[in-house]
């Protein structure tokens, strides 16, 4: 492979610009297109057939895990490297089950990022250290073996375990102080989680939150 053609899929322009700036200095790597959401990523892949898709997990329209699953089904020659800020077990396992060839955290060094990119481009697998331990634990327990390619998305909003805890407590009409004490976190952290939850579900009050939680069986 003379030139590694790369497509970037991330809803943050600054992240895409940062990756492009990093890769522009590398010989043999070329960013040929970008996508700002999951559906756009599928369209871009269909048009360009790159060697590698670098994809974030949490994107509008369609999450990155579902994108990886579709790419793995339709375009088997396209390799997929998940680049995420999330190292939670559920995201890692879902990405692997969807067929991801690599999983790297956004806090990784430049050297590790390039190593992961070249490894995946060459047909290998690359999973950063913390992620590798999650994989090993699940292989030992048989979780990954049971469903090697099936992605499990518990809800369309991709709520984290912490956000689900916050959701349940908010629907119990707990205030931020009560939530902070129950989860052993700061009040400020509880406020941030609550704000992010409301924003993610696109609701303005408890009534709307309760309606959407029941509609999508989030509780």
Contacts of 89 (CB under 8 A, 6+ apart): 134, 138
Task: Give the Cα separation of 110 and 122 in Å (integer).
Answer: 18
Q: Write down the pLDDT at residue 212.
A: 79
Helix H or strand E segment including 121: helix 110-121
Q: What is the pLDDT along the chain (219 residues), one digit of tens a residue?
A: 579 999 999 999 999 999 999 998 898 999 999 999 999 999 999 999 999 999 999 888 889 999 999 999 999 899 999 998 877 777 888 888 899 999 988 888 899 899 999 999 999 988 876 666 665 555 545 555 444 444 334 456 778 888 889 999 998 889 999 999 999 999 999 898 889 888 888 888 888 888 878 777 776
- Topology alike, domains 4-146 and 161-215: no
- For the chain, the structural domain boundaries read 4-146, 161-215
Phi, psi of 5 (to 5 degrees): -85, 130
CA neighbor of 7 nearest in space, from 43, 46, 33, 30: 33
Rounded to whole angstroms, the Cα distance separating 10 from 12 reads 5
Cα 90 to Cα 138: distance, rounded to the nearest angstrom: 11
User: How far apart are alpha carbons 187 and 171 in whole angstroms?
Assistant: 17
Q: Which residue has the tokens 């689900």?
A: 164
User: Phi/psi of residue 118, each to 5°?
Assistant: -70, -40
Candidates 3.40.50.2300, 3.30.1490.100, 3.40.50.2000, 2.40.50.140; CATH matching 4-146: 3.40.50.2300
Q: Which class would CATH give 161-215?
A: mainly alpha
Q: What are the tens digits of pLDDT across the range 125-169?
A: 888 766 666 655 555 455 554 444 443 344 567 788 888 899 999
């Amino acid at each position: 492979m003379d030139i590694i053609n790369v497509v970037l899929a991330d809803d943050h322009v600054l992240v895409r610009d940062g990756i492009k700036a990093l890769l522009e200095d590398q010989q043999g790597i070329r960013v040929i297109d970008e996508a700002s959401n999951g559906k756009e990523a599928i369209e871009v892949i269909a048009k360009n057939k790159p060697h590698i898709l670098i994809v974030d997990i949490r994107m509008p329209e369609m999450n990155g895990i579902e994108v990886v699953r579709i790419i793995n089904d339709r375009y088997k020659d396209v390799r997929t490297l998940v680049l995420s800020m999330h190292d939670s077990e559920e995201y890692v396992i879902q990405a692997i089950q969807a067929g991801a060839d690599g999983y790297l955290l956004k806090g990784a060094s430049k050297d590790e990022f390039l190593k992961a990119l070249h490894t995946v481009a060459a047909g290998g697998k690359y999973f950063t250290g913390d992620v590798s331990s999650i994989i090993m634990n699940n292989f030992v327990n048989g979780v990954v073996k049971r469903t090697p390619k099936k992605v499990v998305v518990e809800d369309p909003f991709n709520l984290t375990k912490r956000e689900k805890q916050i959701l349940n407590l908010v629907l119990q009409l707990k205030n931020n102080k009560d939530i902070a004490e129950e989860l052993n976190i700061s009040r400020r952290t509880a406020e941030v989680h609550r704000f992010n939850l409301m924003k993610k579900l696109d609701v303005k009050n408890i009534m709307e939150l309760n309606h959407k939680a029941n509609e999508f069986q989030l509780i």
